[in-house]
């Protein structure tokens, strides 16, 4: 007897591959300010909620919707440095997609292939940020609904309100879960209306129970230190008009870039399989897919949620197509039938002990690959070199040699790094877009794009130092206008006011 069943073997192998894909050097630009906020919370014992990091919003109350994730991140960094953060991202990727695998139909090999594709789509948003927790919890909610739909046991739905009580402290992405639940309910209602004799769908009473669980989940989002204000966060963020102009992850995908193309493959594969299979795509899957496909095409930060929602439907449709083709091939071509029969006999005759040893060796090999990659991407010398290639580490060192104070205008993508490594110099702006709003962000863009009033904006905030990329349009114009270069390296330039 094999020591591990075929389905579980494929799952273990695929998840080990996904871990190796997901574990990477923690260098996300927003990671730094999340870490600093988490450290501030741990140090004081109070949740960080009043800005002290910026010169533009200092003293302003801030709804720190990710405070619990920040504490976790700061703790992981404290006990395991960057390696622990890398492992955390890898584990979250594995858990989220493992829950997706459990919702799939078809041969384990097919399910594994679809899961790898879903991993390629999701990998765009795998980073050491609270957002990774939303992927895990969205996958958990979808698995709960899948299990409830299959077993009709109400005990599954008890977990939904509890998940949202936790989610409201981990990340504002709880809105993804509410949208998914709402789309699921709409899909079931659509099936009730269009498929009148349907026996598979939920009853009216069962739909009502799911709706009640959703309502309770929405209410329990406020079980956090900020109470009712947590409901405002998604609207505050979406309402910022400058997001798409400023932040890449809020922009629509660019399919000229190879790493963004897997979502296109997934979309086209789903449409093609649906057209060929002739198998009805149930409303509880169709409506969420349509919404999250739209969301992913508007902003690529939604790639991960789309993959989680769509992968089970893609596996179901492909399984139907391949099953039909294989059946026709085996009945129409005797030679193909003989190949299948021979393969089945060979599988049965294969020595179970040898099979177990090969399976164990393959698992150990992939596990070793994951361990080696984790160690390699977090080598101190590699981390230090990469940090200097991405962030203004040299400029930070220059600031630390100075005794006078500065009011700095900084590149948006460097704000978090400065908060963590140079807390004594407040930033102009960083990744907390919900804190700054359109007022500050528009002023930032006016300066960076060297609009006619760019110097007036700097005077408005009494800024006397610019920290920019050395080849930026702003740095060249500032030099022409008389700003003095006080530091320059291969990446950054520091300019002092004239």
Tens digit of each residue's pLDDT (9 = 90 or more) over 112-141: 999 999 999 999 999 999 999 999 999 999
Distance of alpha carbon 277 from alpha carbon 319, whole angstroms: 9
Residue 9 has pLDDT above 90, yes or no: no
Proportion of the chain above pLDDT 90, given as a percent: 73
Closest CA to 216 of 259, 135, 159: 159
Backbone angles phi, psi at 229, to 5 degrees: -60, -25
pLDDT tens for each residue of 233-273:
887 777 677 776 777 888 889 999 999 999 999 999 999 99
Q: Is the separation of the CB atoms in 221 and 174 below 8 Å? A: yes
Q: What is the 3-state secondary structure (H, E, C) of the chain?
A: CCCCCHHHHHHHHHHHHHHHHHCCCCCCCCHHHHHHHHHHHHHHCCCCCECCCECCCCCCECCCCCHHHHHHHHHHHHHHHHHHHHHHHHHHHHHHHHHHHCCCCCCHHHHHHHHHHHHHHHHHHCCCCCHHHHHHHHHHHHHHHHHHHHHCCHHHHHHHHHHHHHHHHHCCCHHHHHHHHHHHHHHHHHHHHHCCCCCCCCCHHHHHHHHHHHHHHHHHCCCCCCHHHHHHHHHHHHCCCCHHHHCHHHCCCCCCCHHHCHHHHHHHHHHHHHHHHCCCCCHHHHHHHHHHHHHHHHCHHHHHHHHHHHHHHHHHHHHHHHHHHHHHHHHHCHHHHHHHHHHHHHHHHCCHHHHHHHHHHHHHHHHHHHHHHHHHHCCHHHHHHHHHHHCCHHHHHHHHCCCCCCCEEECHHHHHHHHHHCCCCCECCCCCHHHHHHHHHHHHHHHHCCCCCHHHHHHHCCCCEEEEECCCHHHHHHHHCCCEEEEECCCEEEEECC
CA distance 14 to 102: 13
This prediction's pTM = 0.93
List phi, psi (to 5°) of 141: -65, -45
pLDDT digits (tens, 9 = 90+) for 475-488: 999 999 999 999 99
What is residue 235's predicted lDDT score, i.e. its pLDDT? Answer: 77
pLDDT tens track for 298-352: 999 999 999 999 999 999 999 988 888 777 877 887 777 677 677 666 666 666 7
Domain ranges of the chain: 6-331, 391-496
Residue 47 confidence (pLDDT) above 70: yes
pLDDT at 148: 95
Q: What is the pLDDT of residue 277?
A: 85
Q: What is the pLDDT of residue 368?
A: 95
**How many angstroms separate the CA atoms of 179 and 401, rounded?**
50
Instruction: Express each pLDDT in 163-201 by its tens digit.
Output: 999 999 999 999 999 999 999 999 999 988 887 667 788
Write out pLDDT tens, residues 398-453: 999 998 888 999 999 999 999 999 999 999 999 999 899 889 999 999 999 999 99
């Amino acid at each position: 007897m094999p020591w591990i069943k075929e389905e579980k073997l494929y799952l273990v192998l695929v998840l080990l591959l996904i871990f190796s894909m997901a574990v990477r050097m923690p260098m996300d630009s927003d990671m730094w300010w999340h870490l600093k906020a988490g450290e501030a919370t741990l140090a004081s014992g109070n949740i960080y909620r009043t800005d002290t990091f910026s010169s533009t919003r200092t003293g302003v109350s801030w709804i720190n919707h990710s405070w619990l994730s920040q504490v976790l991140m700061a703790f992981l960094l404290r006990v395991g440095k960057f390696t622990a953060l890398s492992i955390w991202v890898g584990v979250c990727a594995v858990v989220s997609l493992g829950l997706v695998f459990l919702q799939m139909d078809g041969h384990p090999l097919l399910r594994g292939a679809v899961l790898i594709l879903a991993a390629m789509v999701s990998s765009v948003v795998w980073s050491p940020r609270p957002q990774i927790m939303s992927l895990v919890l969205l996958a958990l909610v979808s698995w709960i609904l899948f299990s409830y739909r299959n077993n009709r046991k109400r005990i599954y739905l008890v977990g939904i309100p509890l998940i949202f009580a936790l989610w409201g402290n981990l990340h504002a992405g709880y809105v993804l879960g509410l949208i998914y639940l709402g789309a699921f309910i709409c899909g079931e209602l659509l099936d009730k209306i269009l498929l009148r004799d349907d026996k598979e769908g939920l009853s009216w009473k069962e739909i009502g129970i799911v709706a009640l669980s959703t309502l309770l989940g929405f209410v329990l989002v406020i079980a956090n230190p900020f109470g009712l204000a947590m409901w405002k966060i998604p609207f505050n963020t979406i309402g910022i008009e400058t997001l798409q102009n400023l932040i890449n992850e809020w922009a629509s995908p660019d399919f000229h870039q190879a790493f963004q193309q897997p979502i296109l493959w997934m979309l086209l594969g789903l449409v093609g399989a649906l057209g060929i299979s002739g198998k009805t795509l149930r409303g509880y899957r169709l409506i969420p897919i349509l919404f999250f496909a739209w969301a992913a095409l508007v902003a690529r930060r939604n790639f991960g949620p789309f993959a989680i929602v769509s992968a089970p439907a893609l596996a179901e449709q492909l399984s139907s197509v391949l099953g039909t083709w294989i059946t026709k091939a085996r009945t129409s071509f005797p030679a193909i039938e003989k190949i299948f029969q021979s393969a089945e006999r060979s599988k049965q005759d294969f020595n179970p002990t040898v099979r177990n040893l090969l399976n164990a060796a393959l698992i150990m090999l992939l596990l070793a690959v994951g361990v080696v990659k984790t160690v390699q991407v977090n080598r101190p010398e590699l981390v230090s070199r990469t940090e200097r290639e991405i962030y203004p580490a040299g400029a930070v060192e220059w600031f630390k040699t100075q005794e006078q104070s500065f009011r700095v205008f900084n590149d948006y993508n460097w704000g978090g790094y400065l908060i963590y490594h140079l807390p004594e110099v407040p930033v102009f702006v960083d990744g907390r877009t919900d804190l700054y709003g359109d007022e500050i962000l528009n002023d930032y863009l006016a300066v960076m794009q060297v609009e006619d009033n760019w110097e007036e904006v700097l005077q408005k905030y009494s800024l006397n130092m610019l920290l920019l990329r050395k080849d930026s349009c702003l740095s060249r114009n500032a030099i022409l206008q008389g700003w003095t270069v006080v530091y320059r390296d291969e990446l950054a330039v520091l300019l002092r006011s004239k």
